[in-house]
Chain A
Amino acid sequence: MADVDTGVRDFESWLVAREPALQRLAHLLAPDTHTARDLVQTTLAKLYVAWPRIDDRDRVDAYARRVLVNEHRRSWGRASRRREVVTEAVPEVIVTDPSYDGTQEAVWRLVSMLPPRQRAVLVLRYYEQLTESETAEVLGIAIGTVKSQASRAIATLRTHLPEEELS
């Protein structure tokens, strides 16, 4: 029975418990809901295929996260191969409406306008609570790049958020 548990039912158990977390991560990384859903489905399909070879069940979450982020990186590549312009500069966002009280929405709007890699670094560091080293490993980049990307992203947020929100 132990072997059976490592098969389909085990995958299904993991799916029920952990798919919501994967969907949340995809939702934060992807530019839209459709892309997020595609990311999750592709990730789950790859995990499904790889499942029999994952011996260490404690590493499944990390593995799934890495697959998802890699799939997300592939979408950057597709965009660049099609010569789409991924904006490097965040458009001016002015949050000065006196009736506005949605700070979190404002922050999210800024995050959603960041270049994909900066956004991914922020999501992994501040939502997934990964260390700089773990973030670098997941993204396949140097720790120094994680630091610089995070620094630039935070600076962008700081620049565009009203001072009263930062007091």
Chain B
Amino acid sequence: MNVEDLLTDALQDHADRAAYDATPLAAIALHARRLQGSRRRRTTSYAVGAAAAATVAVLVTTAALRPPPESSGPATGTPAPTPSATAIDPRPTSPPSSLQPATDGSAPAIGYVEGRTFHPPTGQPVRLPELAKITGLAVLDDGFIVSDYREADGGTHLSRLDETGALVADLGCGIKPVSRGRLVAWVQFSCTYETSASNGLHLLDLDTGEELVQADSGADDLAITGRQVVYDTGDGNEAYVTDLVAAPRRIPGLGSVSGVTDDGLVAGNLDVDGGSTGAVVTLTGEVVWERPDLYPYSVSPGGIYLLAVPPGDAQQLILDMATGRTISQVSGSGPDDFPTFVPGAWEDDTHLIGDLLLNCCTPMARVSLDGELRPIAGNDAIGGSRRVWVPGERAPSLSTDTGR
């Protein structure tokens, strides 16, 4: 037998021996959102019509629900965490609450990009240049940093824009920017993947204009806490914290970074296989809690909750960031014609905002912790462009008052 035949047989044999699980559509949609912002489907093709929005039936269950702040809408301030040492509830126990088909008229309290237009939570929309698929945006005092995914070369590019949205500079390849308060962080690297040019981590202080750069960081996913950046290296094995002045310090046991609280509690995967989610104290590396079989998604702006997704599951769980306990469960999709809610970002500490995937269209919707899902009235539910949420750009009222 010649080596080519042996090789063919060996490859076939190895491929046949592995076990494969089908990937649910909702998980694919969520992954698409996380990677680059999901593209809204061409609505003219799905002629079900607006009536479908009135028959929305997304299942939302709640358990161990912390009483939400008094308000029916988002932006109600930050409830204080109530740390608990009790055992983690693996699943909610209360019966599902029904969908509230009524729409919610309040506009998103965080910025978003739809098509090539950036909609800030306050102020006028800004038309962006003809980039590829926009994946992220950070607002500067004199413009924007925008990331876009270019399919032709399989890479994400960064661009600097002025306040009118005009292109100022091409920054090369990189990772989508993040912002928190007056700090903006992003990663730049060479667009030539075969080179050894490493990921340069940038941190810009909008108050002072100072831009710190940590060369050769290897940074991938980023989050900002205080004046520090927490980042992972994209392979699920390592995470670091740095102020970009002193040498970065590895956070033992943490493999990825999904979000961090202001007091330095970082959420991410804890093991190499990525099957375990937990919260780790940045300063000490102490594991505060751990949950198996969960994929962490994002931390609410006040650091109260963590959105997490079981692998291969259409459900989305909202966990108490302090204890890991399940607070609420959102079924991402139901059978057949049931819609899929794809969370885009935390609007505030009690509401997720995202897209509702219907056959007819993709309206915005928000889910509150008390079991309500409401399509947002007045948005362009039948457009054909995608939305990218910009959680770092929040309405000023969110941090200080109790309503919008």
Contacts and interface: CB of A to CB of B under 8 A. Distances in A.
A4 B46 contact: yes
B2 to A, nearest CB: 7
Contacts of A52: 39, 41-42, 45
A124 B4 CA distance: 13
B13 interface: yes
Interface residues of A, number: 59
Contacts of B31: 41-42, 44-45
Main secondary structure of the interface of A (DSSP, over half): helix
Contact of B6 (A70, A73, A107): A107
Interface string B27-59: 111011011101101101111000000000000
Contacts of B228: none
B273 A34 contact: yes
A50 B36 CA distance: 11
Contacts of A127: 8, 11-12, 15
A166 B7 contact: no
A134 interface: no
B176 to A, nearest CB: 15
Contact of A44 (B1, B14, B18, B28): B28
Contacts, number: 168
Given A4-B359, A74-B154, A77-B194, A48 B234 contact: no
B236 interface: yes
Contact of A27 (B2, B6, B15, B25): B15
Best-buried of B13, B44, B272, B274 by chain A (most CB within 10 Å): B13
Given A41-B23, A71-B154, A80-B195, A165 B6 contact: yes
B86 interface: no
Contact of B32 (A46, A78, A165): A46
A80 B32 CA distance: 26
B6 to A, nearest CB: 5
A157 B23 contact: no
Contact of A78 (B10, B13, B46, B235): B235
Contact of B274 (A19, A34, A103, A107): A34
Given A80-B194, A126-B7, A41 B20 contact: no
A108 B45 contact: no
A149 interface: no
Contacts of B16: 24
Interface string A20-47: 1001110110000110000011101110
Given A46-B35, A76-B193, A161-B6, A83 B22 contact: no
A83 B233 CA distance: 12
A16 to B, nearest CB: 7
B366 interface: no
A70 B154 CA distance: 6
B374 interface: no
A106 B195 CA distance: 32
A49 interface: yes
A34 B198 CA distance: 24
B11 A48 contact: no
Contacts of A154: 3-4, 7
Given A7-B46, A81-B218, A24 B6 contact: no
A12 interface: yes
B147 to A, nearest CB: 15
A3 B14 CA distance: 39
Interface in A148-165: 154, 157-158, 161, 165
Given A4-B47, A42-B35, A81-B196, A108 B14 contact: yes
B199 interface: yes
Nearest to B192: A77
A71 B153 CA distance: 10
A49 B36 contact: yes
Interface in A109-136: 111, 122-123, 126-127
B198 A81 contact: yes
Interface string B268-288: 000011100000000000000
Interface string B311-355: 000000000000000000000000000000000000000000000
A15 interface: yes
A166 B5 CA distance: 10
Contact of A24 (B1, B20, B47, B274): B20
Contact of B28 (A48, A70, A77, A82): A48
Given A107-B6, A157-B7, 6 more contacts: A8-B359, A41-B27, A48-B28, A82-B218, A157-B6, A167-B1
6 contacts: A52-B41, A80-B196, A127-B8, A154-B3, A157-B7, A166-B6
Interface of A: 3-4, 6-8, 11-12, 15-16, 19-20, 23-25, 27-28, 33-34, 40-42, 44-46, 48-50, 52, 67, 70-71, 73-74, 76-83, 103-108, 111, 122-123, 126-127, 154, 157-158, 161, 165-167
